[in-house]
Structure 1
Amino acid sequence: MLHLRRTILSLALLMSLACLPAHAQDDASQSQGTRKTTNLPAVNVHAEDWRKYQKAKLMYQMPEVDGPKITVTKKTTVTHLDNQPTVIGNNLNQALARTPGVLVSEQPTPTQFNFSYRGIGNPQESEFVLVMQDGIPMEGDWIGFPTLYAFPMTQSLSEIQLIRGGSSLLYGPEPAPVINVVSKRPAPGTPLTMTTENVVGEHGLFSSYNAIERNQGAWAFRVDAGYVHSDGTRANDGSQNRQADFYLAYRPDEHQQWWLDFHAISAVSGDPGRLSYTQWEQDPRTITTPYNRDWVNRDQLVLCHTHDFGNNWSLEAKLWFTYQDLVSRAANPQLPGAPPPSSTTLQDEAFRTYGADVRLRKNWGHGNAFTVGTVLFHGNDPFRQWSNPDLMVTRDDHSGTQVLNEKRSTQYQSLFAENVFRLPYRFHFVPSVRLENEHIAVDETVRPPFLSRPLINESDSRHLPLFGLGLGNDFGHGNETYFNVSQGWRPLRYFDIASPFSNLVPGHDAQLSKSVSWEAGVHGAPVTGLYYDVSAFWIDFKNRLETQYINAIDTIEVNTGDTRSRGVEGQLDYDFFATTHWATEGQHLEAFINGSLLNARFTGSSIPGQVGKTPAFSPDYLLKTGVTWRNERVKLSLTAVSSAAQYWQDSDASYGSGETFMPARIPAYTVVDLASDWQLNHSLRLLAGISNLGNRHYFDRVWQNGLEPAFGRTWYTGFALTY
C-alpha cells in the first residue's frame, strides 16, 4: 500500500513537470537539488474601505436606501437627539438647530405648531409642510385639513429627518419638505430599564417624563408618559400637555417583525389673544381675549409588519387609525377697559382618519434597488359651531345656538415606484413616478346666520401624476454630487372648495397648487470629523394660495398666484477632537453652522401689482450655529438661530394705524440657547439650561389679527434617574 502511494505521487510530480515550459522544468530540477529561491517584484495592493465614509455620513443624513425608501440623490438631514442635551418644553428652535432652512414661527402655547420652508406658504399650523411620525402624517386630516395641532415631546424621539426634493414622491402631498420624527425604541439586549425625568423652571414650568422599556429575546416593549405645565407669560396663557406612548414588538424569527404603536397627546391652553405692534411695544403682557381657550386630543393606533422574503425581496406595511378632536372657545377681542363681548363661539372639529402604507423593495444587480408601493387614506371630519352667551362655556356644553354644521370627508389613493441604478465610475440615477388621486366633499346643514349664500353641498376629485429624476456620483474620499428634479403638489382643502365663513359663490373650486423643485449640490465626509453639504435650489410653485380678506379679521386662502424661490443652503459640522487621543476616550467638541440664503418672488398673480413682491415668511437668510461638548458624562450645548427681517403677509404692506398698527415686516432677530446634561453616576443625571440667553425682545408669529410675543429669557433645572 505504501509502495502504491509513493508510485502515484511520483507520477503526479512527473506529469506536473511535463506540463511546465522547459525553463520552468530546469528551475524545478534545480530546486530539488539546491532549492534556489527566486524573488518576484513586490506588488502593493491598496483597498479603500468605503464603509467608513458611509458610516460617517450617516451621522448627518439618511441611508441611501432606507428600508423600502430610496433617498439617494434627495437632499436629507438627520438630527440625532441623543447627541445633544435634552430639549425641555418642546423648544423647537433648539431641537431643529441642526436642521437647515426650517423656519419655526414660535407660539408659546402647545396647541399649534408652525413650520415653513423656503418661502412656500404661511407657517400657520405648518399647512405647507408635511410633518410625520414614523412615516405616518400627523396633520388633522392629511388631505382636507393639513394642520399641525399636536407634536410629541422631544424626549420620546430618537431623531428628526428632513427630506427636501423628491419628498412628495416618497410620501405624497405637500410640495416640500417632509419633517419625519422617529420614535425611540429599546436597543436589542436592553434589560428592564426605568427612567424618570423631572424639571422645574420659570413661569411655573413643571415637566415630567417617565419611561420603562425592555428588549430581550423575541419580545420588546417601551411605555412612556409625560406631563408639562406652564403658567405662560400673560394672564390666560397657562397650559397643560399630557402624552403617553406604548410600543410592543414581536420578532418570531430573524426574517420578520410585528409591532404595535399607540400614541396619545392631550393639550389644553388659554388663549390670551394677539396684539398689535403698538400694544406689544407698550406692554407685551397685554391680553385681548381673556375668555378664550383651546383643547386638543389626538390618539393614534398603528400596526406594522416587516418581512424579508428571501431572494432580495422585503416588505414594510403599516395600518393606522387616528382620532383627533380640536375644540376652541373664542370670543371677540376686548381692548383694555372695554366691556366684555356678549357671546362666545364654541367650535368642535373632529377628525377620524384611516390609512394604509404598503411598500416592497427588491435589491438586484450590484447595488441596485427597486421599490413599489401604495397609500390609501380616508377621513371623516365633522365641523360644528355653537354661539353661547356664557363666556366660560365648557368644551362639551352644546346648549348654545348651533351656527354651523358640516359633514366633511376625504379619500386619497396613490401608487408609486422608484429605482436606483448603479452605473460604472460610481454614477447612479433614480427615476421616480407617483400617481395621485384625491376626493373631497362638504355637506352643510347649518350655516352661520350672518351669511346669505345657499347651504354648501360640494365635492371634487383630482387626479395627477408626479415624476422625478435624481442623478449622483461618488468621488474622492466620501464625497457625492447630487442633482434632483421632482414635482410636488398641495391638495385641495375643505376651505378651498367652499369656505363656511364667506358669501363666495360655490362651484368655483381652486386649482391644485403644484411645484417643480430643482436642487444640485455636493456633500460628504472627506476627512475624519468633518461633514459638509451645500446645494443650490430653485422651486417654481404654481396656483399658490394667497390671502384674501373676508372682513377686518377673518380671511380665506385662494389660488391666485405663482412664486419662484431660489437660493443656496448649506451646512458644515466639525468635531475638533475627532483626530486626537480624546476621541478614543469618547470626547467630542462639535461646532456646526448651517444657513439658507433665499430669494423668493411672485412671478404671476391675479392681484394687481403683486408680481415682483416677496412672499410672506421668506427671510433673505436663516442662520443656525452652535457648539456642543459631549462625552459619557457631559452634554453641553450653546446654539443660536438668526433670521433676517421678513414680511408677514404677501402684500408686503403694513396694516392698521394707531392701536391696531402692524408694520410690514417682522424685524430681524437672533436668539441664543444654552442647555446641559450632567451624568453624575450611572443612575443620576442633572439637567439645566437657559433659553433666549440674551433676553431678546422679539416676535416671529403674526396673523391677520395681530402678533404673539415670544418668550423672553427663561431658565429650567431638574434631574433624571435611571434604574
Structure 2
Amino acid sequence: MPFPRSLFPALAIALAVTLSLRAAPATEPPVAPPPVQLPAFQVEAEAEKDHFIQGPFLPDVQGTKVNVGKKTTILDFDRLPRINGNNYRQALSDAPGLILSEETSPLVSIGYRGLQPHRAQFTQVMKDGIPIHADPFGYPEAYYTPPLDTVDRIEFMRGGAALVYGPQPGGALNYVTHRPRTDVGLGGSTLHTFGSDGYYSSFSYLDGTTGPLGYYGYYNHRESDGIRSANSDYRLDAFTGRLTWAQTTASRVILTLETYAEEHGEPGGLTFATGPGTINYGTQRETPSRLFDRFTLDRQAASLVWERDFARGTFVGRLWAIDYTRASRRQGGGGFGTLPTGAAAQTNTIERQQFNQLGAEARARLDWGQAERHVFTAGALYLHGNSPRTDSRGATPDADNGELRIKTQRATRYLPIFAENLFRFGDFSVTPGLRLELIEQRVRERFNAARVTTPLQQRTARATVPLAGFGAAYDLGRGRDQLYFNVSQSYRPIVFTDAVPNAATTIVNADLAESHALQFEAGYRGEPAPGLVLDASVFHLAFDDQIGSTTLPGGLTSVANLGRAVHRGAELSVRYDLLARRAGSTRDPDRATLNVFANTLILDAAFTAGANRDRTPQYAPRHVVRTGLAYTRGAGLKLALTGTLSADSFADDNNTAQRYVPSYAVWDLTAEWRVPGFPIRLVGGVNNVLDEDYYNRIRPDGIDPAPGRKVYLGVAFEF
C-alpha cells in the first residue's frame, strides 16, 4: 500500500504529543509515569444541572427535555472497545428498532421498524440538538454524520415520542459530541489505524481549559480502496474546532466551527442473472458494474449555543448556519447489475445540489408546583433553507461538466412551536404535549430541456399541521424500574422531487398531501437486580397516505397518496453483568465487568391499502437480533464479541424477486488495551469474523455486497 499523503499532518501531531511527553527536565530524578486515563469529557448537550450516569436510559428530565413516558435508549460508546471506521453494526448494538442498510462508503442508511432506511430520511437526525439533514423536509437525507470518534453517545427517542425534536415518524437520533475537559490545561491524543483493503484512518485532537476558556479541536481522516476491484475507494477529511466559555458555571457559551469533505466511488450493483453484460454476484462479487460514477460531499457549519441554568429551570438558545453541497456523476445506460451499453453509455448525468441553511432555536424549562415536581417545557425553531439544483448531461462517461438539462430553485421556511408539561402524582406521571408545524415549501423550475411544449413546473405548498402526544409512567418503587406508555402523532411532508418531478412524463395529483402516522407504545424498563438491565415494549404504528406513483394511459406517471401500512411488534433489550455482586459495585467505573447482552426487534409490517396491499414494506425483516459479550477492566482493557442476526426482507415495496435480501448473521471481534506504564493505547479487531457472504442493501442498479472478513490494528498516543 502506498504511503498515504494524509499521514503527514497526523504524524506531526503525533510528534508534538511525543515531545510533550519528554518535556520534563533531565536533572529531575526519574519517576514512574502517572496512570493514563481516557479523557473525562463533559458530555451534556444541554444544561448540565441534570447530571446522570450514562445509561441505560435517558433521565425523566434532562436539560430542557422531558423524557418520562417515552421509550429512550443511550448508545454509550464507552461500554465497548473503540469503534473503528464508523462501524454502525457495533454502534447500534444496544438499539432495538433501528435497521441498518450497510454500504462500504462513509454514508449511512438507518431505518426504523420497517420504515425506509435510505439516509435515515424517516428519522430526525441531529448533532448536539441541531438538525443535520440536507433539508429537513424537502430533502430529508442525512448524507453527513459526525465521526464516531468525536461522539460520546447517541440518544435515541422512539417514534412520535420525539415530538420535542420533529414530526418524523421514525423517532430522533441525537449525536452528543465531546466538549473540552476541564481538569487539564492541555491534553490530547492521536490515533492511527491500518487495515484490509488499503484502509487507513487517523483521529487526532487537542483539548483543555484555561480559566473560563475551554477548547477542543480534532482532525479526522479516513481512506480505503474499498472491497471491489475498482471504483469503490473513498476518502474523508473532517475538522472541528470548539470553544466554550464558563463551561462549568450556570451560564455557558459554546462556539463550534466544522468542515467535512468526502468523496467515494459508486461501483454499481450486481445481479444473480447471467448473460451478456451482467455482473453476477456469485462469480464476480468484487467486479464493478460502473467505473466512472462518483459522489462528493462538502459541508461547512457554524453554531453558537447559550445554556443558562436558573433556580427553577433552564434555557437553551441555538444559532447555526450550514452550507452543504452534494454532487454526483453517473454514467448513462445499463440496468440492474448490467454494464452500461448503447449510446447513453457514452454520456453521464451530473447532478449538483446545494443546501444553505440558517436556523435558530430557543427552548425553556420551568419547574413548578409543590416541591417543583411538575415540569413545563416549550420552545420554537425557525429555519430557512435555499437549495438550488442543476442536472447536466456530460459528453463522456467521466465528464465533470456538461450541457445543462434542468435547473431548479427550491426553498423551505419552517417554524414549529412545541410544548409539554409533566404532571407528577406520587409514583404516577402524565405528560401531554402539543406541536404546531408551520411550513412553506417552494419549488420552481428555471429551465428544463425536456419541457419543449409544456410550461415549466412550479409548486408552493403551505401547511399548518397540529400534532399531539401523550405519555404516562408509573414508578414501581425499586429505584429505576418504570412502566411507560406513549401515543403520538407524526407526519411526513412532501419532498422536493414529489412536488416537482424532474421527468416531463410525470404529473402530480392536485390533492397530493403529506403522509400521517399514529404510534402507540407500552413497556417496562428497569434494573430489577444488580447488573441486570431490562427494557421490553410492544408498539403499533399506522402510517397513512404514503406517497407513491401509478402508471397512467399514454405513458404518464402520477404522483399521489397511495398507501397505508401497519407496523407492529415488540422490542426486548436485556443486559446482565456476570461479575456484578452487589448494587453498589455496578457504579464503580474501575471494576471489571462481563456483560452479556441481547437486543431484539420482532416486527410484523404490511401494507393494508393501496397498490402494495398485503405486501411487506422494504427493509422490514421479521426479526433483528443484536447480541454479544463484552469484558472491561476500567478504561485499560476492553474486549467485545458482537453479532447481528437478521431475517430476510425485500429492498422494495413491490417485493420483487431481484430485490430479495436473504437472512444473515455477522460477528465482530474488537479489542482495546492501554499499555501499562506508557501513554499508548492499542486498538484492533476482526470485522465479520466468520466471513459471512451477505448483503442488506439493494439499489436500482443492483445488489451492493457487504464486506467479508476484515482486519485492522491501530495505535494511539495520549497525554
Band the TM-score falls in, shorter-chain normalisation = 0.7 to 0.9
1:38 equivalent in structure 2: none
CA distance in 1, matches of 2:295, 2:237: 14
1:141 aligns with 2:147: no
CA distance in 2, matches of 1:387, 1:197: 42
The alignment's TM-score, normalised by the length of structure 2, stands at 0.87
Cα 1:617–1:545, aligned 2, differ >3 Å: closer, same or farther? farther
1:31 equivalent in structure 2: none
1:666 equivalent in structure 2: 661
Moved more, 635-644 or 365-374: 365-374
Cα deviation, residue 252, structure 1: 8.2
Say if 1:413 and 1:436, in contact at 8 Å, map to a contact too: yes
Cα deviation, residue 558, structure 1: 4.7
Cα deviation, residue 138, structure 1: 1.2
1:67 aligns with 2:63: yes
Say if 2:410 and 2:442, in contact at 8 Å, map to a contact too: yes
Instruction: Select the residue among 80, 99, 102 that pairs with 2:98.
Output: 102
Alignment of 1:235-384 (within 5 A): 235-251=230-246, 254-278=249-273, 279-310=280-311, 312-333=312-333, 335=338, 341-365=345-369, 366=371, 367-384=373-390
Q: Which amino acid aligns with 2:105?
A: T
Other structure's SS at 2:189 match: strand
- Cα deviation 1:219-266 (Å, max 9, x = unaligned): 111000000010001111111011111111101883211111122211
Cα 1:269–1:450, aligned 2, differ >3 Å: closer, same or farther? farther
Cα deviation, residue 717, structure 1: 0.4
2:605 equivalent in structure 1: 600
1:392 equivalent in structure 2: 398
Say if 1:683 and 1:722, in contact at 8 Å, map to a contact too: yes
CA distance in 1, matches of 2:550, 2:243: 48
Say if 2:333 and 2:342, in contact at 8 Å, map to a contact too: no
1:459 aligns with 2:460: yes
Say if 1:429 and 1:470, in contact at 8 Å, map to a contact too: yes
CA distance in 2, matches of 1:451, 1:685: 64
Say if 2:161 and 2:487, in contact at 8 Å, map to a contact too: no
- Cα deviation 1:291-313 (Å, max 9, x = unaligned): 11110011111110011244x13
Instruction: Select the residue among 493, 501, 504 that pairs with 1:491.
Output: 493
Cα deviation, residue 173, structure 1: 2.7
- Cα deviation 1:540-585 (Å, max 9, x = unaligned): 111113466899xx99975310111110101001111121798765
CA distance in 2, matches of 1:222, 1:558: 49
The alignment's TM-score, normalised by the length of structure 1, stands at 0.86
Other structure's SS at 1:280 match: coil
CA distance in 1, matches of 2:552, 2:150: 41
2:672 equivalent in structure 1: 677
Q: Which amino acid aligns with 2:362?
A: V
Other structure's SS at 1:171 match: coil
Say if 2:359 and 2:382, in contact at 8 Å, map to a contact too: yes
CA distance in 2, matches of 1:687, 1:679: 9
CA distance in 2, matches of 1:164, 1:204: 38
Alignment of 1:430-509 (within 5 A): 430-449=431-450, 453-477=454-478, 478-506=480-508, 508=510
Cα 1:222–1:555, aligned 2, differ >3 Å: closer, same or farther? farther
User: Unpaired runs of 5+ in structure 2?
Assistant: 1-49, 274-279
CA distance in 2, matches of 1:422, 1:530: 27
Cα deviation, residue 604, structure 1: 1.4
CA distance in 1, matches of 2:61, 2:69: 11
Cα deviation, residue 507, structure 1: 6.0
1:195 aligns with 2:189: yes
2:13 equivalent in structure 1: none
Other structure's SS at 2:529 match: coil
CA distance in 2, matches of 1:556, 1:297: 34
1:657 equivalent in structure 2: none
Say if 1:288 and 1:333, in contact at 8 Å, map to a contact too: no
1:715 aligns with 2:718: no
Cα 1:507–1:645, aligned 2, differ >3 Å: closer, same or farther? closer
1:50 equivalent in structure 2: none
1:82 aligns with 2:78: yes
Q: Which amino acid aligns with 2:126?
A: M
1:561 equivalent in structure 2: 563
Q: Which amino acid aligns with 2:648?
A: A
1:212 equivalent in structure 2: 206
Cα 1:253–1:472, aligned 2, differ >3 Å: closer, same or farther? closer
Cα 1:374–1:389, aligned 2, differ >3 Å: closer, same or farther? same
User: Unpaired runs of 5+ in structure 1?
Assistant: 1-53, 655-661
Other structure's SS at 1:596 match: strand
Give the number of aligned pairs: 649
Q: Which amino acid aligns with 1:690?
A: V
Cα deviation, residue 666, structure 1: 0.6
Say if 2:596 and 2:630, in contact at 8 Å, map to a contact too: yes
Q: Percent identity?
A: 29
CA distance in 1, matches of 2:662, 2:238: 35
Say if 1:76 and 1:163, in contact at 8 Å, map to a contact too: yes
- Over the aligned positions, Cα root-mean-square deviation in angstroms equals 2.3
- Cα deviation 1:105-153 (Å, max 9, x = unaligned): 011012x321101112x21222111111111111111121001111111
Cα deviation, residue 374, structure 1: 0.2
CA distance in 2, matches of 1:163, 1:494: 27
Cα 1:180–1:447, aligned 2, differ >3 Å: closer, same or farther? same
CA distance in 2, matches of 1:495, 1:140: 14
